[in-house]
């Protein structure tokens, strides 16, 4: 594992690029999925992706990466979409799902 070379090497030479690339990937994925999904389906997809990424971190990356990738994903998959109005969050079921 890269972290065996030293935590700073891991952060500088891998993690920064990983997080930037992941942000771009999830931004694109959000746009593609929102083009066809309703809010509850979208939120279920987000929940699955968060769980999948968490599992990948546990298997392949340093544990310190998990909260960072989670923040990136939440920003790209939820925060950005709310701010841009990309999905109709106004229904009570959608609002309840988002608040949970």
Summarised one tens digit per residue, pLDDT across range 9-44 is 999 999 999 999 999 999 999 999 988 888 899 999
Residue 99, pLDDT > 80, answer no
Does residue 26 form part of some domain? yes
Note whether 29 and 82 are within 8 A (CB). no
Does residue 37 form part of some domain? yes
CATH of the domain at 11: 1.20.1310.10
Range of the domain at 35: 2-81
Q: How many structural domains compose the chain?
A: 1
pTM over 0.85: no
Does residue 43 form part of some domain? yes
Does residue 59 form part of some domain? yes
Choice between 32 and 5, residue whose per-residue pLDDT is larger: 32
Integer Cα distance of 7 and 11 in angstroms: 6
Burial status of residue 23 (CB atoms within 10 A of its CB: 0-12, 13-18, 19 or more): middle
| Both tokens assigned to 22 | 């992941």
Q: What angle do CA 34, 41, 75 make, to 5 degrees?
A: 55
Does residue 88 form part of some domain? no
Does residue 13 form part of some domain? yes
Does residue 60 form part of some domain? yes
Does residue 94 form part of some domain? no
CA atoms within 13 A on the CB side of 49: 23
């Amino acid at each position: 594992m890269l972290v065996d070379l030293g935590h700073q090497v891991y952060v500088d030479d891998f993690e920064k690029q990983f997080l930037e690339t992941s942000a771009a990937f999830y931004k694109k994925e959000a746009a593609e999925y929102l083009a066809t999904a309703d809010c509850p389906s979208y939120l279920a997809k987000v929940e699955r992706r968060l769980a999948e990424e968490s599992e990948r971190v546990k298997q392949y990356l340093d544990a310190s990466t998990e909260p960072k990738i989670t923040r990136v994903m939440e920003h790209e998959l939820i925060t950005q979409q709310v701010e841009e109005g990309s999905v109709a969050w106004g229904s009570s079921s959608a609002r309840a799902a988002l608040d949970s």
